[in-house]
Structure 1
Amino acid sequence: MDTSNLMNNKKLTTKQYVVIASMLFGLFFGAGNLIFPLHLGQLAGGHFALATVGFLVTAVVLPLLAVLAIAVTHSEGVYDIGKPLGAWFALTFMILIHATIGPLFGTPRTATVPFTVGVAPLLSKNMQHTGLLVFSALFFLAAFLFSYKETRIKDAVGRMLNPLFLTLLAVLFFIAFLHPMGNALHQVATPDYTHAAFMNGFLQGYNTMDALAGLAFGVTVVTAVRSLGLKKNSQVAAVTARAGVFATSAIGVVYILLIVLGSTSLGKFKVSLDGGVAFNQIVTRYLGAAGHAFLAVMLTLTCLTTAIGLVAAFAQDFHKHFPKVSYTAWLAFMSFASFCTANFGLDTIIQWSTPMLMFLYPFSMVLILLSVTSPLFKRDGVVYAFVVAFTTVPALMDMVGAFPPVVSASAFGKAVVGLEHTYLPFSTMGLGWLVPALVGLVLGLGVHFVKEHRNATVAAPEKQALSND
């Protein structure tokens, strides 16, 4: 019997699809995904519907497009997404993405957020530093152990940790919507959301960083799908895309419920400083003294699933491109580096890492959109080159404007930001790269189709000569 043919024709069961989708949900859904939409609901008040639509565009559609970009291009990670621009660009882009959402910012935040919101309030002030040290050490040790075997990540996240988190979240939703604190439609919106609810919701969605994470998680998802016995690239791509649709749709439903919950909370509370404070107030109101422990467990679980995905994706990609260092060694390095960075504190991490995020986000956006639409122009590197080249200057300007005041408030920083706001449309909304990227796209497509037409013209006489022979 030809077992290889059976393997190529293998189809996943519904249960296997659910596990992959659950894993992808868990990788995406961290503490930020829990607290940002809750805070958005408080800010938007009765205007929550428009704000929700804007938020879903950047927090759900863009991450879904990142997963689809992996599927459409049959990529196995963030490196392959940048490959049409050459190996040097792809490697540099991969390193910058993993460094930023890895040990420099994203991964340490998975430990500092649950500690700051869920654990720190339980400790005295003189125990805060020691508490963070112990908590982050145990947290990243757990992330390392769960990620140690690549083929077991889908089971650890998809079958165990994420279902447990979703169960706790479902309990909270059940209690909260059974006894609402107010009518969401009747709550007063903050001034920014009274007149621009959609755009402010749209910009809030960037905070999840899931578009960047979607690219980085590509290697982890593809590895998990292949571990189920699928070998053909087309099959892996189809499963990845379908699981991505399931996972991001479920995330979208959770976002909607969280936003409505945040809006209804205005019936009892004022707008909080951030979603962490709001969540603490809500769970304490419904669950009393046990609410704080409940919140700490929820945040730790959802952050741990994301941390597992981030450390594993880092180790998988780096081992693939620097194979002399083992997957386990890269995993240990990533976990230890994230532990060290986490102990600088959440505020310091955000302050110095935001500029790199502002620099990388425009490139990620254009590469995701180019990858999804690449079959239309045969993934021609010329199109990629024009778009990325025209995106570079606005991305650098965004980075300068996002630096701490020592740079952004300097004469140089003010000049750069002033120049961007004067000449680049939508730059005040963080979208200064949009128009230049579109100009690059038009030029790139023009060059591509002219080249295609020229090649077709040259090839026509040759085909005619062959047919005459």
Structure 2
Amino acid sequence: MVTAVVLPLLSVLAISVTRSEGVYDVGRPLGPVFALTFMILIHATIGPLFGTPRTATVPFSVGVQPLLPQSFAHVGLLVFSALFFGAAFWVSYKESNVMGSVGKILNPVFLVLLFSVFSLGFLSPMGKAAQQTVTAAYQHQSFFNGFLQGYNTMDALAGLAFGVTVVTAVKQLGKTKPSENAKVTAKAGVFATAAIGSIYVVLIWLGSTTLAHFRASADGGVAFNQMVSYYLGGFGHALLATLLTVTCLTTAVGLVAAFAQDFHKHFPKVSYRAWLGMMCATSFLTANFGLDTIISWSTPMLMFLYPFAMVLILLSVTSPLFDRDPVVYALVVGFTTVPALFDMVGAFPPVVSQSAFGQTLTGFQQHVLPFASLGMDWVVPAVIGAVLGLSYHWLRPVLGKRRVTTPEQN
């Protein structure tokens, strides 16, 4: 709920408070080079390298692959992902169509299908959620485990990246003044994330009830498939495949459009449609490596980027308190860098994390940095950076007055 609801809301508010037009503007107090690098890393992670390919592999692996013979799995993924990203390209081809297609067609279809499943769960619960056994990962330090698992939603990163699409959509509604645009963005963000939070709560409850009939699954898609098949049989599986495809297509459209809009803005020699085509083509190629491979290599990048994203979001939301002082930004982000690098190395597949180099870094990290065992070793350095930065910002006027005081005044 914190990483997948509160943080995305704060990311939208960060765009609103700073009157930014995208993730580039959020990092701009640290200079154009950092801002551009951060924007590219965010879009690459939630875009063609990891996030967007997952929007095709998830509905395929949960909804389509179980219906195919094992020997046709690779061919099936190839055909499905080609059709999927072809549809995403077609919907996003005209920028003006993105808001209408997603907001007026895809999202309502998704919500109707989702709430149909919810209704079945409420009318005939599979079991009592409160009576189920707590899994091992949540018997101790459950908050931090859930907090880190929320990284995999990529919602906070997407909230920053979608900023350009949100701002563009609001402008198309006629809110062209920065102050008006910011207000509409903030109101829409609060409404949308409140709805998302409600959906997560229901999903958590429904998932718990399935434990009365099925073993705990490491994959939420498998658990959801079990639940729908329990209620509706083969028709339920078809419904789930449709639901996941529509849901993920909605997400894919937002991701590819945001990528193309942001990159066209900063690299205008390449058109929006050319960036869109490159994004869809690259996502199609990456998707065919398979869901497990994508997840195993995306985790290290998420462990590296999320601390930066969180501190930048918090700095942006609170920036009116210190006038977006670059010194505050530099100290907080600078102190966050080393722990983020350590977390990235420790999250790599065993070929890296279990090497002599990886084990040496991990040992040093666990010994020196507080909360490293919880995956939160960036918190204390970031707080130290914030204290130093804010102290400098608030004391600078006093120190400046002392420097200009004449001997006679003394």
Settle same-fold status: TM greater than 0.5.
Answer: yes
Q: Which residue identity does 1:403 align to in structure 2?
A: F
The one-character-per-residue Cα deviations of 1:140-179 (angstroms, maximum 9, x if unpaired) are 0111111111122111111100110000011101111100
Instruction: Encode CA deviations 1:194-242: one digit per residue, 9 max, x unaligned.
Output: 3433333333222211011100000000000000111110100000010
- Match runs of 1:324-335 below 5 Å: 324-335=269-280
Range moving further from structure 2, 271-280 or 253-262: 271-280
- How far apart, in 2, do the equivalents of 1:237 and 1:458 lie? 40
1:364 paired residue number? 309
Q: How many residues align?
A: 406
Q: Which amino acid aligns with 1:76?
A: E
CA–CA distance in structure 2, aligned partners of residues 458 and 210 of structure 1: 47
| Matches for 1:65-214 after TM superposition, within 5 Å | 65-214=10-159
Distance 1:348 1:266 in 2: 28
Partners of 2:172 and 2:77 lie apart in 1 by 36
Matches within 5 A, 1:315-354: 315-354=260-299
Amino acid at match of 1:252: G
In 2, Cα distance between the equivalents of 1:453 and 1:159? 55
Please give the secondary structure, in 1, of the residue aligned with 2:138: helix
Stretches of structure 1 lacking an aligned partner (at least 5 in a row)? 1-55, 462-469
- Determine the C-alpha separation between the residues in 1 that align with 2:263 and 2:403: 43
How many percent of aligned residue pairs carry the same amino acid?
69
1:293 to 238, 247, 254: 238
Match of 1:404 in 2: 349
Match of 1:385 in 2: 330
Using structure 2 for the length normalisation, give the TM-score: 0.96
Report the counterpart of residue 281 of structure 1 in structure 2.
Answer: 226
Aligned to 1:415: 360
Task: Tell me if the contact between 2:89 and 2:277 (Cα under 8 Å) persists in the aligned partners.
Answer: yes
Q: Secondary structure of 1:103's partner?
A: helix
- Counterparts of 1:3-14 in structure 2 under 5 Å? none
SS of residue paired to 2:289? coil
Structure 1 238/279 Cα, relative in aligned 2: closer, same or farther at 3 Å? same
- Aligned-pair distance for 1:452? 2.9
Distance in 2, matches of 1:266 and 1:294, equals: 21
Deviation at 1:456, TM superposition (A): 5.8
User: What residue in structure 1 maps to residue 166 of structure 2?
Assistant: 221
The 1-side partners of 2:270 and 2:59 are apart by 32
Q: 1:192 to 1:348 in 2, by over 3 A?
A: closer
Deviations 1:374-418 (A, max 9, x none): 000000000000011101111111111111111110011001011
Unaligned runs of 5+ in 2: none
Taking the aligned partners of 2:401 and 2:315, their CA distance within structure 1 comes to: 24
Q: CA deviation at 1:353?
A: 2.4
Does residue 308 in structure 1 map to residue 253 in structure 2? Answer: yes
Please, which of 387, 409, 428 is the counterpart of residue 373 of structure 2?
428
- Letter of the 1:161 partner, please give it: L
Taking the aligned partners of 1:311 and 1:421, their CA distance within structure 2 comes to 38
Q: Secondary structure at the match of 1:181?
A: coil
TM-score by length of 1: 0.84
Backbone CA RMSD of aligned residues? 1.4
